Amino acid sequence: MANTIMDSYKEFISLYNQYRKDGNNADAIRMARKIDEIARSQCAREDVPKQFKEYYLSSSAPVKEWLAEVNIGSIPKKKTEGTESEDKIKSTDWFGADIPKLTMRDVAGLQDLRNEFLVNIFAPISPKYSPIYHKYRKDVGLQILMYGPPGCGKTHIVKCLAGSLGCKIAVVQIKDVMANLVGDGAKIIAEIFEQAKKYDKCIIFFDEIDAIAASREDDESRHTKEQLTTLLTNMDGFTSATKPGQIRIIIAATNRPWILDSAVKRGGRFETQIYVPLPDYEARKKLIELALGKDPAVKGRVDVPCADEVTVDWLAEKLDGFAGADIKAVCKQIINRPLRREIEYNRDNDVRLDDCVKREDCEEVIGRYINAITDEMLFQYDAYAANMGLGEYLKLYEPKAREMKEAGKPLTGYVLRWLDRLDTDKAE
């Protein structure tokens, strides 16, 4: 068991280094948190050998140091010699040259999420539905907070929305706003809104908004108060259309909505909140088809050979509870197993080995893969949606969940696991 955890840990270290090299801070942060979590848990266990603990401590130390720098916004910015910070900020074109060639049809499954976007974005600006909004005097929800587990494709969804609406889009990631020089973050935010005013149709997307919008009472926010104030000031009135056909949308995403400052979520700002869940069955199938080259809609795809018992449907069932990013990582590890066997065999033999993905490959990889999504994390989102603390929510939800289970009504996997654990604890 210790070796399998170590294998996954080393894989995460490798991915973290690659993300840092590519400048992909969003995924690097996600991987760094996994590394820190594993290192902490393994070092706390008595059955882990001393040499393993020493490795966890030494290898996770620089990762945790970098993660701490990200959290307080002290990652050094690259400077151009002879160029002032303010000029460098203003020279950045935050809006891509092209409108994304995606539509909401490219969002697999997640029908409830699609309905939320229909009601809150498409309907208010559609001649077919806008009279209904006027009838009920409902404000148009064009300032939206998307929240949910990490790795569930929030950025992809926003790009699909931009493509459907014909909007230019500025994708503002945490690394773009967090700045070493005091005041730069606020200047960046102000400049993004200034550029957005040039377009009649545009979307500003702030990814991991909690990095600059944590509660102003929280110590974590002491370095970002100016950035948050600038964001809130520029948000006010920005999405109000001043001429026909104008569409201006602000979307923010977070994995930790409960730490956001209350001013961010008050009326007129991000009062419309949309939960982005883990991939449902249809979405998981689509992700697996893409990873294994089995999506017939993809031209020039490479169909990974699989044994008859390894089907997309079977894998979709096995990967229930995994985020989209983790499903891709699992599939990559699964594919690597027969690939490695063929290379090692053909190195020493003249006859070529014709291998494929087997069921034991899938089960072994899935069994040792450390899923970043925990049951407690999913319950935390449920509690947030119910505007309750986690303990209070679980206490009130338990009798309802048991009633649904007895009646044979569908329950999610994490709820069923939770009920089973409660029953086991009571029996002991």
Q: How far apart are CA 329 and CA 74, in angstroms?
A: 30
What Å distances lie between residue 72 and 22, 65, 272, CA to CA? 22, 11, 28
Q: What is the pLDDT of residue 419?
A: 92
Q: What is the pLDDT of residue 17?
A: 83
Sign of CA pseudo-dihedral 305, 311, 313, 319: negative
DSSP 306: B
Strand partners, 145: 252, 273
Give the strand order in the sheet containing 168-172. Answer: 168-172, 201-206, 247-254, 143-147, 272-275
- Is it true that domain 281-368 has CATH number 1.10.8.60? yes
Say which residues have a Cβ less than 8 Å from residue 207's Cβ, sequence separation at least 6: 26, 154, 155, 171, 172, 173, 174, 252, 253
Residue spans of the domains in the chain: they are 2-72, 89-275, 281-368, 375-427
Q: Taking the model in full, what pTM does it have?
A: 0.72
Q: What is the pLDDT of residue 69?
A: 66
Quote the Cα angle for 271-256-235, to 5°: 35
Considering the domain 89-275, what is its CATH architecture? 3-Layer(aba) Sandwich (3.40)
Closest CA relative to residue 353, chosen from 366, 343, 368, 363: 343
What Å distances lie between residue 332 and 78, 325, 362, 366, 369, CA to CA? 33, 11, 11, 11, 12
- Please give the average pLDDT of every successive group of 10 residues along the chain, which has 428 residues: 69 83 80 86 79 80 76 43 46 79 84 85 80 73 87 89 91 70 74 90 90 67 72 84 81 91 81 90 92 85 91 94 91 93 85 88 92 88 92 94 92 90 84
Q: How far apart are CA 392 and CA 407, in angstroms?
A: 24
Q: How far apart are CA 34 and CA 370, in angstroms?
A: 9
Q: What is the pLDDT of residue 123?
A: 80
